[in-house]
Structure 1
Amino acid sequence: MRFRGKSIRRKIVALLLVPLLSLGVVWAYATVISGQEAYQVLGVSRLIDRAGQPVKQATRALQQERTRTLVYLADPRGSDVFAAMRRSYSATDEAVEKVRGVARDNGLRNRMNATSRRELDALVGSFTDLTALRRSAEDNRLSRTSALKLYSDLVEPCFGFLTDLRSVKDVALDKRGRGVVGVDRARELLTQEDAVVSAALTGHRLGRDEIQKVSDLIAQRELLYDTNLALLPDEERKDFEAYWKKPGTSVLTDAEYGVSQSTPSAVAVVDAATWTKAATKVLADLAARDDKIETAYRDAVTPYAHGVLLRTGGAGFLGLVALLLSLYLSVRIGRSLVRDLSGLRRRANETAGVRLPEVMRRLAAGEEIDIETEAPRLAHDRDEMGQVAQALETLQRAAVVAAVRQADMRKGVSEVFVNLARRSQVLLHKQLTLLDTMERRTEDTDELADLFRLDHLTTRMRRHAEGLVILSGAAPARQWRRPVPLMDVVRAAVSEVEDYERVEVRRLPRVAVTGAAVGDLTHLLAELMENAAVFSPPHTAVQVLGERVGQGFLLEIHDRGLGMTKEALLAANQRLAETPEFELSDTDRLGLFVVSRIARRQGVKVSLQPSPYGGTTAVVVLPEKLLTDVPGTDGAGLPAVSPDGPVELEAPVAAHGRTAVREPVPAGADEGPRGPLTQLGALPRRPVPKLVTSHGRPVGDHPQADEAPEPDAEHSRPTPAPGALPSRRPRARTGERAGDKSGDGSGDTSGQKPGARPGARTAPVSAPASASASAETERNASGTSPAGRGGGGTGAEAAPAAGPTGLPRRVRQASLARQLREQPEPSAPTGPEPERDADAVRTRMASLQRGWLRGREEEAAADAGPARARATEDEDGPEATGPAPHSTAQGNTPERDGR
């Protein structure tokens, strides 16, 4: 029987049940045996009356029939002998039928023991030979000796049955019962002697065999009396001894003596009538005495049976009491053990499942834990259970102490990480400031490209340092006071991605993000975009699109990678939803930990789904509490009032490396018609695309002439040049943001990666303020003034615009002599003109474009006044990691609304 895996309650029950069952079985067995004995003793008197008496009557009937049969065989011609024999048949048949009735009575048979039942069956079976024996006797085919033997064989089983019937467990009663049967058996020998002598006297001849038989029977009878009378009580024994000494028995004894001492002769030595009279009288007296001692025996058995029954009942009752007491004590002890063990189990489960996890949760939440309160020292018993409870309490206390120490150590490690990350952020901020200064100072395009690349690496390093702060449980340092348009947040996130050129951002509604959530959302989106770019082939694009939904704003980031298995996707979503404790051993998915922490802090829902492109789609749901409307829009991010007049179309896109340049617009003339475009080549127009890539090219646009793929590599993606890196955007000067809305839309860079040029990836083409020096140089080289006027002397003669204080505003190089501001006439070429590098042309045209925008902004700022300048300065977007303030994606308006 296996108990492994069973409860302790079942084991204790089984442990106590085995001895209890054994005790119960022993008690039941003893009770049953004693009850059967008492029942058997009580049934002895009944069996003697209902079974013993019929057998005894049958015995005496057979004895009488045997005597008459032998007399008939001695003188078959006697007149009344045959009739007397036939009368004895009737008495015998009646007695035998009663015996057969006893054998058929199942109630009586069940009261008998097995030996008595066998003796009874043998007795009834021997009666079947009685009919054949009688027929042989009537036909005179038997000798007297044979008839005596056959009838004696029928009588002998009766005495065996009577002996077994009186068998009881009590020794004294058993001996007395055997003595009663033995005395009756001595009478049987006397009846045999009577039959032999009566037959010899009837035949008037006493042979040697008869004399020998009589002598043997006398000797056996005396032996039986001597043996069995000693088993009887003294009173009964003395009664038999006194009877055989009476004068009435002397006639029989004298006749027996004479027969035994005679010789074979034809003359009888004893008178037949005298023998018959004496024998009949003695047999009758012995039968009466046998019945008397049997009645006395039956009367003695009844009290004994009652005593046995009383003793059996008492023993059974005491055994039952002992059994119940054992059961009670076992149950009490078992319940005590189960209660103690259940208490230990409950305490252990509470410690392992409730208290320790609660302590760990509180420690993870930063709460202070009192060890004495969480793991108090309790008093326990001194037994084994108390010792186990004490050990469990010690273990619990040690676990709490270890957890507190581990939490302190983890907190210290987190503080160290935060401190290191803060220091790194300070250094990176200083490095970004230094890079900004260097970008403003340099004029070399190659150096500027390297600075942009270093600027981008520094921005990514700052994001990783900020991720370390978030993993340590602290809040990032970047904060904004005012709402920032969601489009700027997405652009800032794009600028923090390594493969920013592969990110394609769809136009987003004009929805703003609360200032407190700008930094977190920028970091969250950057992590998701970084994962999408890293886990997808380099020639594929990462798409970002969003729209208003019922629960806030939905952003989707699609990649075209290999995707994730169902198990990995489920594990990632579970990690994003549950925000598990960060494990130092699990460093493969740091981005997911960062995203999960940010999403939990801001209430953002982030989930990963299979992408229809075969990769993975990151779904970000921004709650309403993080969103606000941009002024002048409705709840869906659309303009509240339709603008008057036709909608401004997007500027044409240069084809095959050519650049379209619009004529400079005079200051203060923004509301009038623009000047015509100076065409450097054929400029085909195309419809405004709905999807804009990160580098400003509409999705589906064909490569420029300088980056056209080979015929056999039509679908291959051009490799970005070293200069295709983002630029940091310094804080806009007064007037720069006021001029954001005065652009013509042709300087398209806000939807692209910071530093990427429209239509190309080989050099930075966005318009960062850090490149102001280069822009001024380009303006000087091209003859364009900050006010937006072209070459010639018109720029020098223009009156300076008024500043916010009403004083004249200084314009660089406005007071120079015309000869100094004009470029000298180029000398005639002495040879064939060298082929101009396409990258240099694009850089020159981008610088020219920045000069135009700078001039318009300065003039617009001068017209706006001091109030507009202060309002513009308070509008902060995402930090310098975002796109340039003057750049707009193709198809995006200067207001950064994505429309």
Structure 2
Amino acid sequence: MRFPKLGVRTRILAIALAPSVALVVVGLGAAGTLVDRSHRARGWADEMQAGIAPTRALIEAVQTERRLTLWRLAGLDTDVRQLTAARQRLDDALRVLAPTQESLTRMGPESMGQATDAIGAVATRLADIRSGVDAGSLALPEVYAFYNRIPQSVMAGVEIAEKSAPDAATTVELAQAADVLRSLEAMSRAYALGAALLDGNTLPPELGTEYLSLVGFYRTHIDAIVTAPDEQQATAAKALVATPAWARLGVIEPVLAQRTLPAADTTAKHPTAQQLPIAIADWQRSAEEVARGLADLWQAENTEAQHLAGAAASDTTRTSLWAGAGMVAVALVAIAVAVALADRVIGRLKRLRDRTFALADEQLPETMRRLAAGAGLDAELEQPTLDFGGDEIGQVAAAFGHAHATAVAAAVTEARTREGVKSVFLNIAHRSQVVVHRQLEILDAAQAQQQDPALLDIYFRLDHLATRERRNAENLIVLAGGRPGRQWRNPVPLLELVRSAVGETADYTRVETGRLPQAFIAGLAVADLVHLLAELIDNAASFSPPQSRVEISGTSVGRGVVVKITDQGMGIAAGELERLNALLSAPPDFGVASLSGDSRLGLFVVSRLAARHDISVRLSDSDFGGIRAIVLIPSSVLEGSTPDRQKGEGEHLPRW
């Protein structure tokens, strides 16, 4: 299925509409998520609020039954009716808490369910523990540990509630409430264990240590709450600490703590123990009053935490609704602005289109016609003015103008290149004419002196000139991109190849050939390599003093064979040397203007020949101040066998 092509205006509107719609969708989604989160936070606060009273009733009930049970096991005269009422109270509290446990399990994480299940598991064993207490078959430490499990499970649930609180303020408030609950539990445990110390009895060592830790724990924590940054909590704690009941506990607890130490005579009941500073009844009333005060403080802290959670939920709902409405408004404004901008952009693009068509259909053909006629160009033809501002459309207009100017410049360059090529080939043609002219003069002299003994020398010079003329002709072929007609089928020794190259140079008498490795060049590369070396040797002789020598040496390397051509000239400047090496490594197009009549055509020919056989040629400064040309003949051009002289003609190199 093919979709219709859309215009620029439609695409601009689509570009604006797509993010706007996405913004609306994301905004509504985010608002919905926040509203849902606020609803869950509200539900969390309501469930937690509903669980405060049953939880307090459970904690007070288990603390009361634990205290009366431990007192009975310690031998105190307890009222059986009070113990029975405490047991009934705990059963009622567990029954009332059951629905709240189910709600918290559904709302909280999996660990919350584990905490509530732990309370249920303790409740199932409650009847067996009570029977054991009544029968006197359970020891005080075992009963004490059992009754501690329910408050411990409640504390685990409180910690889980802290982690699942909807906001940080609620979490902080719950943490403060948890500290109060821990202090209440520590004070209640100490109150329950203290009964065993009233009549001079001693606690088991582990419970004696437990009593000291509990007293120190709850008093230290309450003192810390007095100086807490929460003013409401600190005020309530200060009021509790200022009560006579708190003071009376502070008087009797050190005496009971002293009795936790074992007596010297294990059969005695601390005969030297300090007498109780207050009556037991006053101690009981004071402990119960402090416990109620701590429970009230804990309940107040929990209520405040639920209020904070509810307020945070309301704020989240209100903020999310405003945010969603704001995003919708922003999207509508963005669409309106996009429509206005799209109309303006389309108008500018239409004007740019018309101007570009005028350049392509009228101005550029006129420019090409004038170049073909050899006429000059004015500034408007070479660089048209497309002023459409400085924004992206203006930049596109500038790009069109630049493209037009580039096309004109390319046409101008092409014309100049054609002139340069003509000049190059004329230059080479003139050189060939000079050589031919000299050759004719020598031939005339030979004809006039046929009986002269110097005839052999004349023939030698004719041969040499003919060789040079042949190389000049081959230059034309190379510059044209062709291949010379000379070919060898069999490998040729490197030494013979170098000598042939020397013979093709003008100042061959100044060339000194040193030691060369025993290597053979493949027949297909012989002609090109002779030509390449001859050009380099000619350059070395041309740019060095007439009395100096040009030295040729070679060596075998890992990648092939290296031939070095060293002169004793004035050298080349560093920048120019770098440019020449770049030319040798990557031959440019012969049509460029830099290869006109005054260019180094020999190096261009060398570059072409080297690239044909993957030969590396590099120029560097020599030890004598001149230039050293380093020619690396790769292993792919070398062959390991000697040439077969019986395979036919054309296998021998010309004389030098």
TM-score bracket for this pair, using the shorter chain length: 0.3 to 0.5
Structure with greater helix percent: 2
Higher relative contact order (CA 8 A, sep 6+): 2
Report which of the two structures shows the higher radius of gyration computed on alpha carbons.
1
Q: TM-score, with normalisation over the residues of structure 2?
A: 0.45
